[in-house]
A and B are shown apart, each in its own frame.
Chain A
Amino acid sequence: MKLSFNIALRFLNSSKGQTFLIALGIAIGVSVQIFIGSLIQGLQIDLVDTTIGSQPQITITSTSDDKLIGDYESRLSDISSDYEGVKHVSPSADGPALVTSDEENYSILVRGLSFEAAEGIYKTKERLVEGSLPENKNEVLIGTTLKDESGIQIGDEVDVLTSSGENQALTVTGIFDFQVANLNSSWVLTTLETAQSMFSYDDRITGIEMQVEDVFLADTISSDIQADLPEDLLAENWKDQNASLLSGLNGQSVSSYMIQVFVMISVLLGIASVLAITVVQKSRQIGILKAMGIRDSAASLIFVFQGLMLGIAGAILGILLGLGLAYVFTRFALNPDGTPVVPLYINPGFIALSAGFAIVVSTLAALIPARKSSKLNPIEVIRNA
């Protein structure tokens, strides 16, 4: 065992150029895997984040006639304590209305939020481009689009007409930009109390919104929650509403796996063929070792060890190369504003998996020459000197 390892090491050492080339071959395979993997994962995380990162991922609404949820305080605290993986839980009281400015009507959605609880989901502080969050009753934020279209400014008092015909004067304290035109034109954010009194909801709300740690678990968490809810409450998750996004992500993952599998197959074939040649190169040595009494299994082990060592060297080199490639990519493939075109996701678990896979594959590839060496008859070598 130790002798086989020793001989393997000497064999690799004696043809450094060849050893380096095989290791480099494995390394390139590993680095492509790591780079493509990080790219695709980064792309997916970015896509998921921009699509649903600043949105509730699970929403509870009421199916009763008035669409209202009463007694919500206890339900909020139950949800955040009872379900693993739920991150932010926030109540909302929404209602449609019309706002009038310069004789023009704009249809809006008044969203009453508890700004503190909603911060985790909507990141309103970050989205605020001017002014400050509402603190008092009847203070509101409007979106950039509504501001541009209506000419409403910070500090303006605007008239709002609710669907039930109530009029309410609201003061604009700030402007937000959610980077979605639809939201920027229709959403008007205010405190929970303001919305509740405007729409006469009393102490009730229209929805409970939450985000989860792992967005891909939203459906299971959602159904867990649903199971504990009374019949007139409905929990929905982002996956139900984003089937096409999901199938897109799936397709991406599958093509990424395909690329990685084929990269690894080509690496496997490369190593196997080069190692097969080394058995021929080293047949004199194997022949005399066998004449001197080395067992076939020990002779095979020499090549298995070579595969293993090449795999380890290639994997380490490949990780360095892959990370280097990723670094260069995030440094030089930039958007006009200086941010990377695709933010790579460096996942240590995934890198370790690629490296481990390469080592296993190299060792497996070495089984072909190992078998060949096991079958080599010393008489062939000695007769043909």
Chain B
Amino acid sequence: MRNVIELKKINKIYGSQVKTQVLFDLDLAIEEGSFNSIIGQSGSGKSTLLNIIGTLDQPTDGEVYINGKRTDQMNKNELATLRNETIGFIFQFHYLLPEFTALENVLMPYRIQYGKVPADKLKRANELMALVGLEKVKNNKATNMSGGQQQRTAIARALMNSPKIILADEPTGNLDSETTETVYNLLRDINKEMGTTFIIITHDRRIAETADRIIEIKDGRIALDI
């Protein structure tokens, strides 16, 4: 399998006066279609790493390749298009737009890129809502849903543009254990059925162990990779 993500010698230093180095010469390659988990103590640099992969943050030096294209030299508009087409984000907080309904939130990535929504895309959004089990509440405003429902809506939204990669930063951090289980099963199913590459940060070892690959970050370096 080819690598859909490649990081070469990534260093990340925060601050200009007081410098704190968070990532050290980090190399990482992620295979297409794989299901990966990142674990590590709080403050070890997991989110920083994921945000660099997602092109939301830039490394201080080193090279980032997404889908074979080098991203650390792209301009803001190129990055925006790349993110829209190839990366789906799921964060600890759902970040749904409270002014829109759940279904409209799911359609948002499509509308950002293409504007008008044709019938087949609307159908896809509806299918995604069914996939995450939210057919009944899809026309609710994002604020009129439970935490689990909001997070599942965010998952459906991340899938809307059929991205190659989904990056999830503690996606169940705000959910109870039962809902956590449902959400992870859902993510695994999507990985199997659609071949989407997943990188999930979690502090739950039990969940992490169900992944194809576990990467542990310690003080900005990869301490374990199995």
Contacts and interface: CB of A to CB of B under 8 A. Distances in A.
A182 to B, nearest CB: 72
A345 interface: no
Interface stretch (B84-92, B126-134, B176-184, B204-212): B84-92
Interface stretch (A6-14, A205-213, A255-263): A6-14
B21 interface: no
B220 interface: no
Contact of B83 (A2, A292, A298): A292
B81 A293 contact: yes
A177 B40 CA distance: 101
B185 interface: no
A296 interface: yes
Given A3-B112, A379-B56, A294 B95 contact: no
Given A294-B80, A379-B51, A382-B91, A289 B112 contact: yes
Nearest to B114: A3
B115 A2 contact: yes
Interface stretch (A55-63, A280-288, A362-370): A280-288
B99 interface: yes
B33 to A, nearest CB: 22
A292 B108 contact: yes
Interface string A1-25: 1110001001101100000000000
Contacts of B116: 2
Contacts of B108: 289, 292
Number of chain A interface residues as a range:
20 to 34
B16 interface: no
B99 A3 contact: no
Interface string A288-329: 111111111010000000000000000000000000000000
Contacts of B65: none
A293 B97 contact: no
Contacts of B19: none
B2 interface: no
B109 interface: yes
A7 B85 CA distance: 21
26 contacts: A1-B115, A2-B116, A3-B111, A3-B112, A3-B115, A11-B99, A285-B99, A288-B97, A291-B56, A291-B83, A291-B89, A291-B95, A292-B89, A292-B112, A293-B80, A293-B84, A294-B112, A295-B80, A296-B76, A298-B112, A379-B57, A382-B56, A383-B47, A383-B51, A385-B91, A385-B95
Interface of B: 47, 51, 54, 56-57, 76-77, 80-85, 89, 91-93, 95, 97-100, 108-109, 111-113, 115-116, 157
The 10 closest A-B pairs by CB, nearest first: A293-B84, A10-B99, A288-B95, A385-B93, A14-B99, A293-B80, A293-B83, A379-B56, A294-B112, A292-B109
Given A289-B108, A382-B56, A383-B47, 5 more contacts: A285-B98, A285-B99, A293-B81, A382-B51, A382-B95
Interface of A: 1-3, 7, 10-11, 13-14, 284-285, 287-296, 298, 378-379, 382-383, 385
